[in-house]
């Protein structure tokens, strides 16, 4: 009788287990992308592993891969730095077709920051990234290339459709913008998921509420966040990535840039899993008399 009951339990659990999404293909795609860089360089590897409409924040602008790499060589050129990176944190949507990885990056074997990539499975089953961005947060103390990334728990709820998810997150981001205009630290702490990660350059990645609170002291007290300009949502409506413009003041100087965020639906609402601030280049002063 115990054998029959055990068998019945296994059969009843099998459909659930079969539907559990797996982040392993996303991690494998990121590692393959990185492995192509030594031969293909920026132009070749970035175009091979993305879609033409994938987004990069480049030179203070949100641009497509096609625009950034138009006419670029498809092999690594003499003098082009060797960029290496590997995932230390990853996750997948409950619908299984969207996910992310992030981790440290090195230039000519010298650590300099962290990358963040959002991936989407295509109609032919291939994984391609739809967003790639970086942060100058310190890579010190991060696990090495052979380590297994920490995995974000898969969402247990969703909004039912990508459209519904994007509408909900757009409203959440409007509330975040309103709150951040007076107190960005409190605004972010109110929505950050305990399992998330926060990059505040040049500090190391912050993980956990106490680390979040300390890291947020490194950002200006107030931000002006623009409306959500773009992004995407998973088919199940449980994971959303967004970007938009940001403005702030540091040391008396007005600065601009972009925010990038990754959100996950929770029973208590949308929670922030990942947040980046990507400053625009500081323009040099005009020449004397100009």
pLDDT of 176-198, one tens digit each?
A: 999 999 999 999 999 999 999 99
At residue 101, the 3 state secondary structure works out as strand
Q: Can you name the residues that pair with 114 across neighbouring β-strands?
A: 104, 135
Tell me, yes or no, whether 5 lies in a domain.
Answer: no
Same-domain status, 171 and 145: no
Structural domain includes residue 7? no
How much is the pLDDT for 8? 37
Q: What is the CATH number of the domain that holds 123?
A: 3.10.450.50
Specify the number of domains making up the chain.
2
Q: What is the pLDDT of residue 20?
A: 76
Q: Which residues of the chain have pLDDT under 50?
A: 1-18, 290
The continuous run of DSSP H or E covering 194 comes out as strand 192-198
Which pLDDT score, from 0 to 100, does residue 4 have? 35
pLDDT at 7: 36
Instruction: Identify the pLDDT of residue 58.
Output: 84
Could you give the CA distance from residue 245 to residue 253 in angstroms, rounded to a whole number? 17
Residue 17: the pLDDT is: 37
Distance CA 212, CA 200 (A): 9
Q: What is the pLDDT of residue 29?
A: 98
What's the first-to-final CA gap in the chain, in angstroms? 90
Domain boundary among 151, 181, 205: 151
**Do 234 and 118 reside in the same domain of the chain?**
no
Give the pLDDT score at 12.
37
pLDDT of residue 282: 74
Domain that holds residue 250: 162-279
> Looking at 151, 179, 212, which one is the last position of a domain?
151
Backbone angle region of 215, left / alpha / beta, with phi > 0 → left and psi within -120 to 50 → alpha: alpha
The per-residue pLDDT for 37 is: 97
pLDDT of residue 271: 98
- The reply to whether the predicted model has a pTM over 0.95 is no
Together in a domain, 146 and 167: no
Residue 195: predicted pLDDT: 96
Query: In angstroms, rounded to a whole number, what is the distance separating the alpha carbons of residues 131 and 120?
Result: 9
């Amino acid at each position: 009788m115990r054998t029959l009951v055990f068998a019945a339990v296994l059969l009843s659990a099998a459909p659930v287990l079969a539907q559990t999404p797996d982040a392993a293909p996303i991690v494998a795609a990121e590692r393959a992308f990185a492995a192509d860089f030594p031969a293909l360089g920026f132009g070749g590897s970035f175009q091979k592993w993305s879609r033409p409409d994938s987004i990069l924040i480049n030179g203070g602008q949100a641009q497509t891969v096609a625009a950034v790499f138009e006419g670029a060589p498809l092999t690594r050129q003499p003098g082009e730095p060797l960029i290496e990176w590997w995932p230390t944190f990853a996750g997948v949507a409950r619908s299984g077709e969207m996910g992310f990885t992030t981790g440290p990056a090195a230039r000519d074997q010298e650590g300099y920051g962290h990358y963040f990539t959002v991936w989407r499975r295509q109609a032919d089953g291939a994984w391609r990234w739809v967003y790639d961005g970086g942060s100058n947060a310190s890579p010190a103390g991060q696990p090495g290339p052979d380590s297994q990334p920490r995995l974000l728990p898969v969402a247990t709820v969703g909004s039912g459709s990508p459209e519904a998810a994007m509408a909900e997150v757009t409203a959440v981001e409007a509330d975040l913008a309103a709150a951040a205009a007076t107190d960005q630290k409190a605004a972010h702490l109110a929505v950050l998921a305990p399992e998330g990660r926060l990059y505040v350059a040049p500090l190391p990645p912050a993980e956990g509420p106490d680390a979040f609170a300390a890291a947020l002291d490194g950002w200006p007290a107030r931000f002006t966040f623009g409306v959500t300009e773009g992004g995407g949502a998973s088919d199940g409506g449980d994971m959303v990535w967004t970007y938009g413009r940001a403005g702030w003041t540091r040391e008396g100087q007005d600065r601009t840039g972009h925010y990038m965020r990754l959100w996950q639906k929770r029973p208590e609402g949308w929670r922030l899993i990942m947040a980046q601030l990507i400053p625009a280049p500081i323009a040099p002063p005009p020449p004397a008399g100009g």
